[in-house]
A and B are shown apart, each in its own frame.
Chain A
């Protein structure tokens, strides 16, 4: 569209600066923890009052939230595990929250208990939440609400330089432009020109975060799928690595199984894991982003 092409250089009104954590809500925390450990994550801390666990790997934080309230779904689908939140690093969490609300985001109900951090957030795709976190430099949000896991390393290293590359979101057919404008007007994302793609899953629309540190990929249902079975929700994390082949090899040794048939055959550009319990899968994407963050 001409109008979009004429847009000035995208701004970063919320001061977004990468992803602080990605959260899963699940009824099966042990099974999911096991999958994350196979992917190279280490459990480093546990929430003081809730069934919430922090896993780390290099620059990445992944939270498993097994709090019974966390997996409230608006429909009756039998999902046992969902990608339930993205926490964005921002300059000023309060200001980012107010800006997002002003631009048309839905506020979430606060869930913090006494003496717990109240992390501001708004509703994202499906039943997911976008949190805004501004304490990620001098001290972290985990210092307040989490207790370290005894004996666990504080900063477990990343396998093959793995880092957050982005998230894949399912959208209904013909809704790419609506979601592009959602992420663009609310958060300052910009859409990448058609033909630019990463990894081995080129289908869909790619949006770049205003900090240029991660991506959102919008994926419409395949031609064969019935629209009714295709919810608009986050479906997969993409991990970047400068060396996909090395990462794939190391993860295979840890027991991770990769899809090995067209069109998702692993190569130096990317790889896709099998679908694990609860519908969880991960994508590897050739990326140098980790070296700048």
Chain B
């Protein structure tokens, strides 16, 4: 198994930043997704946090998370641009190559795709001189954009090489979004894939969806949607995506366990993904060739 493409997310692990980095590294992960608050709230200050991350030898997958950014106007837009600039400076300081942006939940935001695309392109341009890419994710409870086809629509419209979509399995499973449109997205326009599952088949209300998302996710291979996850991963692989897979698992139980134990579960999950999914994707790709051979023979 090649662990190089898989990373932990600090949100999944208990303890101070040091312990999270140490546990990830100890279990063989070479990268980790950070949250801005990991750095901002570090007791010894930002510079020490940055030094700690750099000294860990772990590659930073990206930085979470810019919220309620797009679709705003006037002073609200200007305020959010200011916040975005601070986030980009944090990315630069800690060596994060990607800033994650979640689709807005703000009632003040316009859902006009052209407006959203314009705002995303602006952020993508802001990020170019700093060498940081922007990834836009459809939050399942986003006000206007809450499914990946909508996030791809505005990213495509923005037409900026420094902008891609973030595919998050939780939000797709939670809204039961059909997977057919994954093939519309070129692999190089997928900025990141975040993986997690959960333990029940049905989500009955928006409240339950939010509660599940924030407290009750599990690693891939541990939940009840392994079949759908496999399908999703195969489709993403067929898009030509060769980037990182990050385990973004919000789980209150995991936060009561030593980070090494949780990182070991993540290690199992990485094995599950490569063993069960990526190997099968090779067969899936071979199938059409057989069909083609058959049709030529006819």
Contact = CB atoms under 8 A, between A and B. Distances in A.
Name the residue in B85, B123, B124, B129 with the highest tally of chain A Cβ atoms < 10 Å from its Cβ.
Answer: B129
B122 A103 contact: yes
Interface in B130-168: 131, 133, 159-162
A185 B129 contact: no
B126 A181 contact: no
Given A178-B161, A180-B161, A181-B160, A123 B131 contact: no
A181 B122 contact: no
A97 to B, nearest CB: 15
Given A172-B131, A185-B121, A106 B126 contact: yes
Interface residues of B, number: 15
Nearest to B120: A104
Nearest to B84: A104
B128 interface: yes
A264 interface: no
Contacts of A105: 125-126
A224 interface: no
A133 B161 CA distance: 29
A3 interface: yes
Contact of A178 (B122, B128, B159): B128
A102 B81 CA distance: 10
A104 B161 contact: no
A216 to B, nearest CB: 13
A106 B161 CA distance: 19
B162 A106 contact: no
A186 B125 contact: yes
Contacts of B123: 104
Nearest to A128: B129
B73 to A, nearest CB: 12
A124 B129 CA distance: 7
A179 B131 CA distance: 10
25 contacts: A3-B159, A103-B121, A103-B122, A104-B124, A104-B125, A104-B126, A105-B125, A105-B126, A106-B85, A123-B129, A124-B129, A125-B129, A175-B131, A178-B162, A179-B128, A180-B161, A181-B125, A181-B128, A181-B159, A181-B160, A181-B161, A181-B162, A182-B125, A182-B162, A185-B121
Going nearest first, the 5 A-B pairs with the smallest beta carbon separation are A104-B125, A177-B161, A104-B122, A182-B128, A178-B162
Given A178-B161, A179-B128, A182-B162, 15 more contacts: A3-B159, A103-B125, A104-B122, A106-B126, A123-B129, A172-B131, A175-B131, A178-B128, A180-B161, A181-B124, A181-B128, A185-B121, A185-B125, A232-B129, A232-B131
